[in-house]
Structure formats: structure tokens, C-alpha cells
Amino acid sequence: MSVYERPLPETTPWSAPFWAAAKEHRLVFQHCASCQANVLYPKLFCPNCHGSDLQWMDASGQGEVYTFSVIYQHPPSPFRDSLPYVVAVVQLDEGVQLMTNVVGCEPEDVKCGMKVVAEFDDVTDEFTLVKFRPA
């Protein structure tokens, strides 16, 4: 396997369970036991009720493309050899949103509202990135 030269996530102590789950090909999010809010990306405190009773739950992995862009020019240096690629914000069925790449289809075929499903990209021994493909 060639050396992976793109940016890897700079993690925090409270996000570690997310990355550990991703490595096991599970997409997880936080659920606030106090106010029932769903939270992603992981937070130290609940952004809704400001409490700290956040628990980890498995997501269905289903969602839809909230918005996207196909990058054709002027990407960050480590992405120059992968043009064109799709960056997208996906809204999970659980209501939370995350930044991702849509893969597994022609970039031009991606649409807002398109149903997608999580896919796990083991980019290094340590990190697995959560990406999405058409459902």
C-alpha cells in the first residue's frame, strides 16, 4: 500500500470512540440522554441542553445529500491527483449532518436530495474515513 499523504483527522479525547467505531466499519453519533438531541460531529457538551450526558449510538448509515460540489480545479495540494472529486454534506436519517465524499458514481450524477449509504474507506492502519455511495 502506498503512503497516504492526505490530511488525517486531528482527533480529540472525546471523539476517539467515533474513530474507533469507524475502524470497525460502524458509523456512530452521540445521543443526549437528557434532552434526546442527536449530535454529530461529537461534542464535549450537548449543544442543545449544554449537559454532558452524551451517549454513543449506531447510525443506520442511511441519509441523503444535503449539498455537494464537484471539485475540478485548485484543490488543496494533497488532492491534486484525485480530480475531479465530490465533497458533500450528508444529512443522516437521524437528523445530523457531516462532511464527506460521495464515491461509487460519476461525480456529475450526484444531486441534492440523493439517497446515500455509508461506506468505509480504510485510508491507513489507524484511520477509516466515512464516505457515502448512492443507496
Helix (H), strand (E) at residue 23: helix 16-23
Provide the grid cell at 65: 445529500
Candidate ranges 7-15, 20-28, 29-37, 55-63; the one touching other proteins (CB under 8 A): 7-15
Q: Is 97 in the site for other proteins (CB under 8 A)?
A: yes
Q: Which of 1, 3, 10, 125 binds other proteins (CB under 8 A)?
A: 10
Choose which of 50, 72, 93, 133 interacts with other proteins (CB under 8 A). Answer: 72
Q: How far is the CB of 12 from other proteins (least distance, A)?
A: 7
- The answer to whether 45 contacts other proteins (rule: CB under 8 A) is no
Burial class of residue 132 in the structure, from the number of CB atoms within 10 Å of its CB (0-12 exposed, 13-18 middle, 19+ buried)? buried
C-alpha cell read off for 78: 494533497
Tell me how far CA of residue 54 lies from CA of 9, 37, 77, in angstroms. 21, 9, 37
Cell of 18: 467515533
The region of 27-35, 51-59, 85-93 touching other proteins under the rule CB under 8 A is 85-93
Q: Rounded to an integer, what distance in angstroms lies between the CA atom of residue 39 and that of residue 110?
A: 26
Q: What mask of x and - would describe binding to other proteins in positions 104 to 133, judged by CB under 8 A? A: --------xx---------x-----x----
6 binds other proteins (CB under 8 A): yes
- Which of 20, 38, 56, 87 contacts other proteins by CB under 8 A? 87
Kindly list the strands in the beta sheet with 54-58, ordered across the sheet, starting from the edge strand earlier in the chain. Answer: 38-39, 28-32, 54-58
Instruction: Indicate whether 66 belongs to the interface with other proteins (CB under 8 A).
Output: yes
